[in-house]
Amino acid sequence: MRNSLGITIDFAVLAILYATVFFNKWKTSNKAKFVVNTLMYIYISLVLFVTLMPIVVSLPFIFNHPYHSVNLIPFDDYFSGRGDAVRQIILNVIMMMPFGFLLPLVKKQNLLSCLFWTSLFSLGIELTQPLINGFRAADITDLITNVTGGLLGYLLYIVFKPLIKKIISHFE
């Protein structure tokens, strides 16, 4: 029950943040920019839901549990046969593909810039997870697979760029 309430509070904070800051900022731009920015905001909110929530109700307790060490051995779970490593690898790649696809639509990016921002986003999530939830640990495999997902998303953006430009031109 506490978890559901915490997630509801987090989504309320995200909705208020969108309504008071981002909506007002983006509504003055053209329709395509407004839609793309809003999609990116929704996507990031969903990533936060999957990876970190509940956040707000967890903040007072972030130092009340041990910070698990960072797993710096790439694909250790997979090679050790622990857990559902293959599923986690696939899900991490899929989770970050929209980031790599949407980021160059939000702000013009080249491949290296997109990989940098994907790495930074993923690193932020990985280093925050153990603080929010004492049972989670930061994992280098997650960082690698997230960046791979961002790369694949960017490559899909490149493939579909002509179609995207045609769609966007209808909104302008």
Q: Comparing C-alpha atoms, which of 168, 40, 163, 164 is closest to residue 102?
A: 40
pLDDT band for 3, please (50, 70, 90 cuts): confident
Percentage of residues of the chain with pLDDT beyond 70: 97
| pLDDT greater than 60 at residue 2 | no
| pLDDT greater than 90 at residue 67 | no
The tokens for 143 are 């960082």
First to last CA, the chain: 45
Distance of CA 92 to the CA centre of its chain: 10
DSSP SS3 for 164: helix
Residue ranges of alpha helices (H) inside 18-110 are 23-26, 31-51, 76-80, 85-106
The tokens for 6 are 């915490």
Q: Which residues contact 145 (CB under 8 A, 6 or more apart)?
A: 88, 89, 92, 93, 96
Total Cβ atoms within 10 A of residue 12 = 11
List, for residues 96-119, the tens digit of each pLDDT value: 999 999 999 999 999 999 999 999
Pick the more confident residue, 66 or 155: 155
Residue that has been written with the tokens 């990016």 in this structure: 109
Q: What is the mean pLDDT of residues 57-81?
A: 85
